[in-house]
């Protein structure tokens, strides 16, 4: 198990655009496993992308199945994505998002309600899936990381759509 440190904004590495993974080799598979281990270790996370652990390759993982929001809907369980790309979107909704890399804030962000996603999985298989609801939101959030975007970049107004988290 390789739990990695999660980078926190304003770390400049979070703003880097990631490069494509040319070959699903042992290094790429290890990156996916590190992402899964780090997400699971966080205890509350439904996804994480490679730049959040300081790696600038196009890889991310999402699993909303254990979240109270994800359990209410059909979902794909653990999705391990290499070079993911959204090829179709449908609808629009405003959702409240948070992020392990922006631990002090949440914000209202506009996201597609439904997406079609293509990617290569951990077994080197090309996948095309349709995701909806909370799972689609989580995937869009993680793919933003691969292009150097945080949810903060998607907030319309920092005065009305950004909220400080309550401290426990």
Predicted confidence at residue 168, as pLDDT, reads 58
Q: Which residue has the tokens 């890399």?
A: 101
Number of folded domains that form the chain: 1
Question: pLDDT (tens digit, 9 = 90+) per residue, 35-46?
Answer: 999 999 998 899
Question: pLDDT (tens digit, 9 = 90+) per residue, 70-124?
Answer: 666 789 999 999 999 999 999 999 999 999 999 999 999 999 999 999 999 999 9
146 in a domain, yes or no?
yes
> 34, 2 in Cβ contact below 8 A?
yes
Predicted confidence at residue 1, as pLDDT, reads 59
4 in a domain, yes or no?
no
123 in a domain, yes or no?
yes
> Pick the residue with more confidence: 157 or 78?
78
78 in a domain, yes or no?
yes
5 in a domain, yes or no?
no
- Nearest residue to 164 (alpha-carbon basis) of 99, 106, 98: 106
Alpha helices in the chain (DSSP H): 26-42, 68-71, 133-146
137 in a domain, yes or no?
yes
Is the pLDDT score of 18 beyond 70? Answer: yes
Predicted confidence at residue 133, as pLDDT, reads 94
Question: pLDDT (tens digit, 9 = 90+) per residue, 50-69?
Answer: 999 999 999 999 999 988 77
d(CA 103, CA 25): 32
36 in a domain, yes or no?
yes
Q: What is the CATH number of the domain that holds 21?
A: 3.90.45.10
Say if residue 34 is exposed, middle or buried (CB neighbours under 10 Å; 0-12, 13-18, 19+): buried
Question: What range defines the domain where residue 20 resides?
Answer: 12-164
- The pTM score is 0.95
1 in a domain, yes or no?
no
Phi first, then psi, for residue 16 (nearest 5°) are -80, 145
**Neighbour tally for 96: CB within 10 Å:** 12
Which residues belong to the active site?
Answer: 142
């Amino acid at each position: 198990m390789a739990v990695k440190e999660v980078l926190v904004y304003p770390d400049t590495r979070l703003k880097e655009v990631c490069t494509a993974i040319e070959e699903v080799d042992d290094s790429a598979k290890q990156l996916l496993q590190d992402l899964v281990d780090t997400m699971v270790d966080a205890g509350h996370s439904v996804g994480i992308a490679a730049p959040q652990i300081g790696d600038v390759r196009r890889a991310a993982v999402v699993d909303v199945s254990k979240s109270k929001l994800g359990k209410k809907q059909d979902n794909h369980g653990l999705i391990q994505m290499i070079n993911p790309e959204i090829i179709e979107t449908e609808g629009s909704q405003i959702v409240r998002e948070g992020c392990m890399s922006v631990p002090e804030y949440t914000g209202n962000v506009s996201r597609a309600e439904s997406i079609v996603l293509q990617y290569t999985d951990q077994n080197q298989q090309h996948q095309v899936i349709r995701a909806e609801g909370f799972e689609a939101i989580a995937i869009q959030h993680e793919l933003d990381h691969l292009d150097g975007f945080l949810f903060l970049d998607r907030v319309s107004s920092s005065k009305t759509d950004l909220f400080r988290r309550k401290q426990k």
